[in-house]
Amino acid sequence: MTKLIIQIPCFNEADALPATLAALPKSVPGIDRIELLVIDDGSSDGTADVARQHGVQHIVRHRRNRGLAAAFQSGLDAALAAGADIIVNTDADGQYCGDSIAALVAPVAAGEADIVIGDRGVGKNEHFHPVKRRLQSFGSFVVRRLSRTSITDAVSGFRAISRDAAQRINITSDFSYTTEMLIQAGRKRMAVTSVPVRTNGAVRPSRLFRSIPHFIVNTAATMLRAWAMYNPLRAFVSVGMIVFLVGLAPMIRFLWFYVNGDGGGHLQSLVIGGVLMILGVVTILLGALADLIGRNRRLMELTLERIRALEARIGES
């Protein structure tokens, strides 16, 4: 029996949640059982009570607001504990059309993908402002390069995840899970694909970010942190080499004047160049240390995956 759990992270969504729940499919080809999971991220409007009144089978409640990334991770953990074979994540505000879930789940159910992203067609989506289209298209391009995937809508929260992939994903961001999850998946060699999905117009401003600049800064920081976490040697060596080469320029300048008998008046070039070159070498050495720590983290992640698998077996028995 294949179980699909549709998880919905919520923060003060008591008004929008009933319509979102009503739009979710009651059956999906290749799925034997569908259950719903609501993650109430510290809501103060009775979101959990509304979910319970509308027959939601699983409810996770944070005592205070912990953010979308934490709510998503809590949902994955709860869905795995409930025996989900496939997990679909969607928004509570009804942005994503429930009738697209069948298309989203199909590649995972067929064993063709570990993760499927719902592609909203950002470049042509009439519900998005032209500036937002360009920014998200550029952001998706950057994520494709960092994650080595071919996803065209990197920040779409509408996604299907296989049980195996969910056990291997560990979100550490405090902002959003979307880009970090893709970078992790790409670096862990998971099969990631996308399918076109339908969307509805926004009914209210996003609660994830205050403004476009706020979204850009936090998303960029999340992407950089995730990329550096899974590529520490490359990240530190790149920075270290840049600093080293910048320091090499004044050092060469000093040597030029020294060879021509005028070195005494250019000691500042020697000092600046020497300091920068030392900083570059230290940064490269830190990269080697970070790479060793990263390998230890991978062992810890493998241990966590096995613990999750054991918990699932115990739950089934």
pLDDT at position 31, please? 94
- Looking at residue 66, what DSSP letter applies? -
Tell me how far apart the alpha carbons of residues 67 and 180 are, in angstroms, rounded to a whole number: 15
Say what the pLDDT of residue 124 is.
Answer: 67
Of the candidates 181, 184, 179, the one whose C-alpha atom is nearest the C-alpha of residue 215 is: 179
Q: Token pair of 229, please? A: 């976490």
Task: Kindly report the pTM of this predicted structure.
Answer: 0.76
Closest CA to 185 of 216, 211, 154, 212: 154
Q: What is the largest CA-CA distance in the chain?
A: 87
| Residue 8 pLDDT | 95
Radius of gyration of the chain (CA): 24
Q: Could you give the 3-state DSSP secondary structure of residue 300?
A: helix
Instruction: Indicate the residue type of 27.
Output: S
Task: State the pLDDT at residue 165.
Answer: 93
Q: Where are the beta strands (DSSP E) in the chain?
A: 3-10, 33-41, 58-62, 86-89, 115-119, 159-162, 192-196
Residue 47: CA count within 13 A, CB half-sphere? 26
* Segment-wise mean pLDDT, segments of 10 residues, the chain, 317 residues: 93 91 92 95 92 94 91 92 93 88 94 93 64 73 83 89 91 83 89 90 60 71 76 85 91 82 74 90 88 76 76 70
